[in-house]
Structures are given as structure tokens and as C-alpha cells.
Copies of this chain bind each other. A is one copy, B any other.
Amino acid sequence: MVLTVMVPACHTQLKNGIGSSCMKVGILTGGGDCPGLNPVIRGVVRTITNAGGEMVGLLQGWRGAIQGITTPLTVENTDDIIWKGGTILGSSRTNPYKKPEDVQQLLETFKKLGLDALVAIGGDDTLGVANKLYRDYKLNTIGCPKTIDNDLSCTDVTFGFDTAINIVMEATDRLRTTAESHRRIVVIETMGRHAGWIALHSGIATAADYVLIPEVPVDVDHMCSVLKRRREEGKEYAIVVVSEGAVLSHEDGFVTQDAKIDDFGHVSLGGVGESVSKIIEHRLGVETRCVILGHVQRGGSPTAYDRVLGTRLGVGAGRLVLEKKFGRMVALQGTHIVDVALEDAVGKLKTVEMEYYKEAAEFFT
């Protein structure tokens, strides 16, 4: 008698050496959107699907995971999303740990949907939730770091950051010609509430005459003396890049007071760009203009760098799922995609190192 064993498709060995999978995997994007989210989604979907698994998109961040708002994700419906900014899954700042019943509902939804694993793409908040769900409930979570500000730990770079600095650069290249025509100083306020990566990189990229970041105490006297000297040497306009998180002391004068908190917990430290602009105009007697680039910095089609980084992180996150390495976060170190414990990645801010700042400061002396 011949025994025929039916091997389901998802048990066959796959070319990528990781083996196949019948897993059903959820994915969500939390917090503020940024260019590169869709490439990550596409990368995860492709990797899981290639291995025989099934993907479910949870909409609007953790809200979708709690309430079970879902959409099927396939190779076909994620093929054409790599060049699209934002996230096709939508996002929110819902945090299930704010209400105990939300965590319970999330666990039930996870079970009801029959999910074997969950990939959470987001910033410190989102990854913190993924970490706690893994730690407290052994939920099979994988994290993927996302912040336009580039200030997450354990990864060299986050996607969206490269797009942001190119947007700031293009806007500043434009502002330069108008500044030059009118012999003005232009102050550009960029994103970066706790870390100066965007301001510093775009300051370098735009040949800025001065850059202010949160990590370095603002020295108004030094800034004004540098700007004055450049002008005396014959450069009749100037570009100053200010991180929104740069802190002026009240002795500097002209400090606006209206700090506010936006819906992603983003603290606006009160129009530091406008204040810096007024200080410069007052001290140097030179016409000065302030431009606040705002949300434009986080929108639109990702650069090649962010599409490649997002895709690689997505493939990496998919592989972590297939290898069942849960409670971990995918990351970029050097040129390699690696994985680190979520535990180690969350709760620490990656600020600009002084060594690196000094490289840039060659241009502000």
C-alpha cells in the first residue's frame, strides 16, 4: 500500500533558505507619517508572501489593531506603492497602553484575526508598545524604526530623514537666490525637536552660514559675530538653519512664548526661527526673513535612499518573522541590515555627537 502525503504549498523549501511559512502576519504604521513607510510595507508583504505566508494590514496604527480595522495586503496591491509618500495603512497616535481595556481588546483582535505575528513600524511610542506586548503577553511582535528626525537608537539612519533633508535643501537653494538678490539673511526653521540631525545635515548641504541645534547651547553673540564677519568679507546674504528644538534663553530677547503640543506629542518650542530672525535683524541691522517649512518636510515621494532603506528594512523585518525572532527590531548598521532587541532600542534618544558637530562647525567659525 502506497501512502501519499500531501505537502501543503507553504511547507516546501524556498530559495531564500529561510523556509516556507503558513503564517498570517499583521502590519501597522503608527505615529507621524514619513516617506519610506510604503517601501517597508511592500518589503514585508513581498518577503512573507514569497515564503507562502499571508499579510493583513491593520489600519490607522494601533487603532486598527484594537478595533480590528483591516485590509488584505498582497503582492499585487503593494507593487505600485514604493514611490508614494505617507502610508497606505493610515496612521494615528492611539496607544493601547493608555487604557487597560484597549490592550485586552488588541489581544483578542489579534487572536480573532488569527495573526501569528505583527510588524509594527513606528517611532519610540509605537516600538515601545510593540516591546511591551512582547514582554508582557509574548505577542510575536517585530519592530521597524521610523522617525523623520533620525533620532532613534540602535540604527545608523532612519528612512524619511534623507527625503526631509533634500526637501529642506531644495527650499533653501531657492531661498538663497532671493536672499542674494536683496542682500538679506534668511532663517530656515526645520523639524527636529530633540535632535539636530535635520538642521545639521541640511545646514551642511546648503552651505549655511550658521546652524542651531538642540544639542548645542545657542551662543547668540558668536552667531552674530560670524554673520557680521562674513558680511564684512563681502558675502552680502546669509543662510541660518535652526532646528525647531534649538533653545534660546530669555536673555537673548525676542523669545516667543507660545509653546504648544501637536497631536503626535510634538512639542513646538515656540517659534524659535522667528525669534532668531528678530534677534539677528535687531543686532546686525540687516533685513532678515524667517521661513518655517513645516509639514512639507515629511511629505511626498521618498528619495532613492529612503526607498532602498525602507525596502531593505521591510525585507529584513519579514525575515525576522519567518525566523521567528520576535521582540526584535530591524536596523541599519553600516551597510548591513541587522536586528536588535526592542528592549535595547526604545527609550533612548540618538542625538548629534559632538565629534560630528565639530566637522560641520568648520563652516560656522
Tell me if B299 and A33 are in contact (CB < 8 A): no
Residue A79 lies at the interface, judged by CB distance under 8 Å to chain B? yes
Q: Which residues of B contact A295 (CB under 8 A)?
A: 175, 178, 186, 289, 291
Interface pick from A65-73, A85-93, A108-116: A85-93
Q: Which residues of B contact A365 (CB under 8 A)?
A: 15, 50
Q: Contacts A16-B362, A173-B300: A234 and B178 contacting too (C-beta < 8 A)?
A: no
| B interface footprint on A288-312 (CB within 8 Å = 1, 0 otherwise) | 0101111110111101110110011
Q: Contacts A16-B362, A307-B204, A362-B16: A299 and B176 contacting too (C-beta < 8 A)?
A: yes
Q: Which residues of B contact A176 (CB under 8 A)?
A: 85, 299
Tell me if A85 and B178 are in contact (CB < 8 A): yes
Q: Could you tell me the distance between the alpha carbons of A308 and B363 in the complex, rounded to whole angstroms? A: 12
Q: Which residues of B contact A182 (CB under 8 A)?
A: 32-33, 90-92
Q: Contacts A50-B365, A156-B335, A207-B82: A162 and B299 contacting too (C-beta < 8 A)?
A: no
Q: Could you tell me the distance between the alpha carbons of A235 and B174 in the complex, rounded to whole angstroms? A: 27
Q: Could you tell me the distance between the alpha carbons of A304 and B235 in the complex, rounded to whole angstroms? A: 23
Residue A98 lies at the interface, judged by CB distance under 8 Å to chain B? no
Among A202, A295, A356, A358, residue most surrounded by chain B Cβ atoms (within 10 Å):
A295
Q: Could you tell me the distance between the alpha carbons of A301 and B50 in the complex, rounded to whole angstroms? A: 32
Tell me if B174 and A299 are in contact (CB < 8 A): yes
Q: Which residues of B contact A289 (CB under 8 A)?
A: 294-295
Tell me if B178 and A86 are in contact (CB < 8 A): yes
Interface pick from A4-12, A164-172, A244-252: A164-172
Chain B minimum-CB-distance residue to A43: B362
Q: Contacts A233-B76, A303-B166, A308-B204: A296 and B181 contacting too (C-beta < 8 A)?
A: no
Q: How many copies does the complex hold?
A: 4
In-complex Cβ contact of A315 among B15, B35, B46, B362 (8 A): B362
Residue A343 lies at the interface, judged by CB distance under 8 Å to chain B? no
Q: Contacts A86-B178, A299-B178: A80 and B207 contacting too (C-beta < 8 A)?
A: yes
| B interface footprint on A277-297 (CB within 8 Å = 1, 0 otherwise) | 000000000010101111110
| B interface footprint on A205-239 (CB within 8 Å = 1, 0 otherwise) | 11100000000000000000000000001110000
**For chain A residues 39-66, which have a beta carbon within 8 Å of chain B?**
42-43, 46-47, 50
Q: Could you tell me the distance between the alpha carbons of A37 and B175 in the complex, rounded to whole angstroms? A: 15
Residue A83 lies at the interface, judged by CB distance under 8 Å to chain B? yes
In-complex Cβ contact of A91 among B80, B181, B205 (8 A): B181
Q: Could you tell me the distance between the alpha carbons of A16 and B354 in the complex, rounded to whole angstroms? A: 11
**For chain A residues 339-364, which have a beta carbon within 8 Å of chain B?**
356, 358-359, 361-363
Closest 7 CB pairs of A and B: A85-B177, A174-B300, A174-B299, A86-B181, A86-B177, A33-B181, A205-B307
